């Protein structure tokens, strides 16, 4: 009996190493850390490090525009390949990576759905709600949230000659984007700004949840284990008093309001907002709950990063701040003196903000230096495989065949800090690269990839840009700012999204400083 067990074990080990040898040889032409041809441990270490963006950038810098990070996993910083994989008629599909990104324990959402036909159908139903065509109060709703953000800073955090009140800009911007996405999506803000607090414990739990999701993305087969009944007991539940479970409960309740109570024919709430549009176009109650969770997490954290880092670089770069303030002053917007009531504060219209070249250059540069999403978002090669060009560090390029079923993730951080694309100052904040006749469509298209592309493009892009076009100039022109700790201006980790914190600033009323 023992001899049969040893024989079986030997056979298993032999077959395992034969399989590993085959997968190693299949991608042998791609460089990468030595262990990545045999194991996913390097990728697990990278995603769990808190600085995954640096690991990924280093791999492409050292081994080429497309490099190996696992036995059947590549990563690319080539914008042409990224667009090719996501094009409308591309034969690439979403890789198993997406299985780990479910926010609801048992349901897919627009991001995680891997059935391409079902994904396209769901996307078509949701697109009108995001476009604003069926949510005509979209901009006005965002204006209300911007006013509330300004009021919070004005009444709780303005420093004077007799009162020192620093604020964590990362935190209050998160409050703003969370309230905004909840208000525009289903007409009911969470209330973060009103409380100046996290009533759900959501932000705290996100700091542990996102790194765990990134670890699961390395081993997506673990998602099967998460479906086991005993594992469900460990996951967030709608009955939880705090954290993501409480957010799930909130989503369940606001969705339920759009449907009739038992014994009634009419829904409790009817609104012309995103949720109303999704329901009108045929999403079920379960789908609406799942998509609401996606909106809250993906729609708030990504936009918060874009606002934070664009503002941070403007406020800490005197030349940029002065040029932006001059542009805003010259545009003739009403004075930011705040003599009007908080509800009457005039907010720069989106149509006007889009016509301010330096503001748009700053926003584009902020997105370039800190792309909000840094996860692999891997696509899978078609069964027949594909031949892709690889650019090596010595400048040479070679066409390399990739077998079918291989995952290729995109390295947005490495791509947008590539010296090959952006020159020797690729790591430097310089909005002027987008102005003064320097407009380069190839580079503009590369930055636009932070919103995805083609059939995988971000539906919430228009909402995110509305928030950026309003929050960035209003905060820059209404207050003067000073970093609290120049040696460490902010902290946090990168785990698919940026979890930034302790971005300490002192804010003073700008007109009080300049005599207005």
User: CA 460, CA 476: separation in Å to the nearest integer?
Assistant: 24
As a residue count, the chain comes to 516
Which segments of 316-429 does DSSP mark as H helices, in order? 318-330, 350-353, 357-369, 412-416, 419-422
Residue 458 annotated as lining a ligand binding site: yes
User: CA 449, CA 416: separation in Å to the nearest integer?
Assistant: 10
- The answer to whether residues 179 and 190 touch, using CB atoms and an 8 Å cutoff, is yes
For 495, the enclosing helix (H) or strand (E) is: strand 491-495
User: CA 334, CA 104: separation in Å to the nearest integer?
Assistant: 45
- The answer to whether residues 288 and 255 touch, using CB atoms and an 8 Å cutoff, is yes
User: CA 65, CA 60: separation in Å to the nearest integer?
Assistant: 5
Q: What DSSP string runs through 265-281?
A: SSBS---SSHHHHHHHT
For 512, the enclosing helix (H) or strand (E) is: helix 510-514
User: CA 57, CA 77: separation in Å to the nearest integer?
Assistant: 8
* Binding site, annotated residues: 458
Binding site per annotation, positions for heme: 458
């Amino acid at each position: 009996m023992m001899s049969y067990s040893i024989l079986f074990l030997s056979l298993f080990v032999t077959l395992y190493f034969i399989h590993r040898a085959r997968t190693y040889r299949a991608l042998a032409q791609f460089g990468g850390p030595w262990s990545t041809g045999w194991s996913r441990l390097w990728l697990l270490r990278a995603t769990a490090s808190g600085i995954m963006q640096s690991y990924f950038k280093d791999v492409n810098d050292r081994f080429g525009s497309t490099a190996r990070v696992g036995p059947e996993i590549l990563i690319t910083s080539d914008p042409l390949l990224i667009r090719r994989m996501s094009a409308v008629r591309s034969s690439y599909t979403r890789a198993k990576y997406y299985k780990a990104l479910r926010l609801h324990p048992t349901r897919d959402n627009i991001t995680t759905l891997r059935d391409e036909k079902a994904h396209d159908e769901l996307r078509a139903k949701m697109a009108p709600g995001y476009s604003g065509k069926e949510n005509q109060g979209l901009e006005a709703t965002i204006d209300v949230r911007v006013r509330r953000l300004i009021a919070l800073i004005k009444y709780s955090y303005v420093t004077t000659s007799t009162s020192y009140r620093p604020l964590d800009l990362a935190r209050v911007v998160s409050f703003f984007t969370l309230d905004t996405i909840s208000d525009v999506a289903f007409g009911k803000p969470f209330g973060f700004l009103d409380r100046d607090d996290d009533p759900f414990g959501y932000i705290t739990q996100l700091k542990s949840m996102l790194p765990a999701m990134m670890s699961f993305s390395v081993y997506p087969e673990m998602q099967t284990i998460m479906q086991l009944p005993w594992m469900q007991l460990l996951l967030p539940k709608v009955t939880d008093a705090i954290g993501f479970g409480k957010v799930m409960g909130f989503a369940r309740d606001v969705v339920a309001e759009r449907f009739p109570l038992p014994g009634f024919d009419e829904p409790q709430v009817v609104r012309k907002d995103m949720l109303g549009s999704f329901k009108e176009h045929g999403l079920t109650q379960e789908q609406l709950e799942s998509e609401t969770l996606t909106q809250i997490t993906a729609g708030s954290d990504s936009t918060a990063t874009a606002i934070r880092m664009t503002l941070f670089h403007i406020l800490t770069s005197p030349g940029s701040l002065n040029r932006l303030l001059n542009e805003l002053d010259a545009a003739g917007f009403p004075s930011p003196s705040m003599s009007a009531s908080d509800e009457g504060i005039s907010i720069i219209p989106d149509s006007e903000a889009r016509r301010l070249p330096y503001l748009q250059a700053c926003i584009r540069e902020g997105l370039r230096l800190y792309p909000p999403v840094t996860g692999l978002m891997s696509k899978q090669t078609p069964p027949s495989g594909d031949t892709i060009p690889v650019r090596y560090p010595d400048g040479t390029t070679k066409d390399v065949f990739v077998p079918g079923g291989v995952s290729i993730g995109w390295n947005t951080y490495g791509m947008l800090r590539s010296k090959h694309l952006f020159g020797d100052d690729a790591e430097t904040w310089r909005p002027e690269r987008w102005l003064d006749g320097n407009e380069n469509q190839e580079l503009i298209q590369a930055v636009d990839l932070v919103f995805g592309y083609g059939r995988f493009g971000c539906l919430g892009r228009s909402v995110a840009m509305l928030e950026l076009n309003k929050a960035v100039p209003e905060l820059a022109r209404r207050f003067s700012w000073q970093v609290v700790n120049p040696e460490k201006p902010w902290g946090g980790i990168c785990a698919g999204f940026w979890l930034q914190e302790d971005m300490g600033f002192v804010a003073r009323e700008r007109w009080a400083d300049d005599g207005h």
